[in-house]
Chains A and B, each alone.
Chain A
Amino acid sequence: MSMPFGYASPEQIMRDRAEYARKGIARGRSVVVMQYADGILFVAPNPSKALHKISEIYDRIGFAAVGRYNEFESLRLAGIRYADINGYTFNRSDVTGRGLANLYAQQLGMIFTESIKSLEVEIVVAEVGDSPAEDQIYRLTFDGSVFDEQGMAVIGGQAEAVGGRLKERYRDNLPLPEALDAALAALTEPGGERPPAAQLEVAVLDRGREHRKFQRLTGPRLERLLEAAPPGGTPEGAAPAEEPEGEAPTGPPTGPDGDIDTGSAE
């Protein structure tokens, strides 16, 4: 059977789109989202004070994204609309991270299969619960795959390397300064210099806060936190840290360069 001119197999098309999206996402810097003792911490190296990679979606829900700004910005706005409409229609407690993750997954999946170009984004939807066990971190890739992450997620840039470094330092229930230290250590290449406070975008979903849990950490407060962290290494104080590390059921974060369900067997 002769193929029409310009024919490309569906497998080829999907592979090309995935390849294209992965390249775009890997170009930027990584973003780290991880649990700490009082909630969920977001850390992103970001020199811009105005163009955010991290954002509040609703009372308990935060959003982090890497990739093309205009694309994840429109996803962020849609998430806010979705959450506000649901909260207004029903009740504020009826807005869930799972619902939002599903909405994003549908949209990302639809664009991946139907458009010429998939979105060059990778996003995290995190929801803080009443206890650490109820915290949820969902990672969504450009093709609409959803990953229910345990404890931490790394997206964008050299996600696999950053994730590996983060996993070495991650413990359950780290205090905020130490969690921030672990995130920064993971985001910094070995031997590299840590970004100063002015180059960082940091926010938390703090389960202890009233009403809206999301809070940006900026200025003097962030600097104090950075100073409070034990300098250059694993926290010595965390003596019982050894055993949770041993069992470490926290799955490895899958970077955009890793195994991603692209819809085609490679």
Chain B
Amino acid sequence: MNNLFTYTGSSSFTEFLNVHAPDLLPARAQAPAARVSDEIPHATTIVAATCAGGVVMAGDRRATSGNIISQRDIEKVFRTDDYSCMGIAGTASTGIEMARLYRVELEHYEKTEGRSLSTEGKANRLATMIRGNLPMAMQGLVVVPLFAAYDPATDAGRIFGYDVGGGPYEQRNYHAIGSGSIFARGSLKKLYREDASPEDTVKVCLNALYDAADDDSATGGPDVTRKIWPVIAVITADGFRRMPDAEVAELVQSMLDLRMTDPDGPTAPLR
């Protein structure tokens, strides 16, 4: 208890936990003796793209255990503070726990120091957490996040990718992670427009997710019968906003209407 009052270390919550209650840190858990297989639920596809004055992140709602769909409505895009969010792909449980710790990490710094971390600082902090998970990743508990933030210093959205060893790798314009990312990236490449409005960029992301679900069995498309829609986060100077389901439903419906006549979706002009 006394550490609470006498701790003089850095403003990092994770560092403090390391001293005060190391058992709470996910990275300290003992690595499993045997490699875990893909029977543990896996989160699949996340896409992100910058837009005029911000950034959009979208994630499908499926989690799979091998060939089984283990959850239809999992949420994989997390608000981490007022101006940033992260999406997770890979082992769902590890990813969710990491997102929870990361949120506290950012808030803890903000409250103790009286200012927010710089966008690079946030991205670096996440890299350290991924690297801490490396022993677990070697045993099959891989988690790879995607980080997106509005940077007040440049008044623009920024996207950072990672690998199992950490990172960060700043991405230009758009990026996708997870099992369907190859298809999503192909779709983004053709549909992305620089400085498009947030609304248009949301449509681009929805199409990219649809294309990923079209070709990747582990990515879930919009579930019209159960009314399960992708999670969409829009971050601008006004802060983080998760699009309400009703709004997403409307956009998805108009996309589906178009796909009824043109199943492959919108095409990019040749010239």
Contacts and interface: CB of A to CB of B under 8 A. Distances in A.
Interface of A: 50, 52, 55-57, 74-75, 77-78, 80-82, 84-85, 87-89, 103, 107, 211-212
A80 B104 CA distance: 11
A78 B2 CA distance: 9
Contacts of B17: 85, 88
A107 B5 contact: yes
Contacts of A103: 4
A92 B174 CA distance: 32
Contact of A85 (B5, B20, B100, B114): B20
A80 B108 contact: yes
A18 B152 CA distance: 48
Given A82-B4, A212-B107, 14 more contacts: A77-B7, A77-B112, A80-B108, A80-B112, A81-B3, A84-B108, A85-B17, A85-B24, A88-B13, A88-B24, A89-B21, A103-B4, A107-B5, A211-B79
A78 B107 contact: no
A85 B7 contact: no
Contacts of A84: 13, 104, 107-108
A78 B111 CA distance: 11
Contacts of B7: 77, 81
B24 A89 contact: yes
A50 B7 CA distance: 22
A78 B101 contact: no
B16 A81 contact: yes
Nearest to A106: B1
Nearest to A79: B4
Contacts of B112: 77, 80
30 contacts: A55-B111, A56-B111, A57-B111, A75-B5, A78-B4, A80-B111, A80-B112, A81-B3, A81-B4, A81-B20, A81-B108, A82-B4, A84-B13, A84-B104, A84-B108, A85-B17, A85-B20, A85-B24, A87-B104, A88-B13, A88-B17, A88-B24, A88-B100, A88-B101, A88-B104, A89-B21, A89-B24, A103-B4, A107-B5, A212-B107
Contacts of B21: 85, 89
A211 B78 CA distance: 13
Contacts of B4: 78, 81-82, 103
Interface string B73-110: 00000010000000000000000000011001001100
Nearest to A88: B104
A104 to B, nearest CB: 10
Interface string B7-18: 100000100110
B114 A50 contact: yes
B23 to A, nearest CB: 10
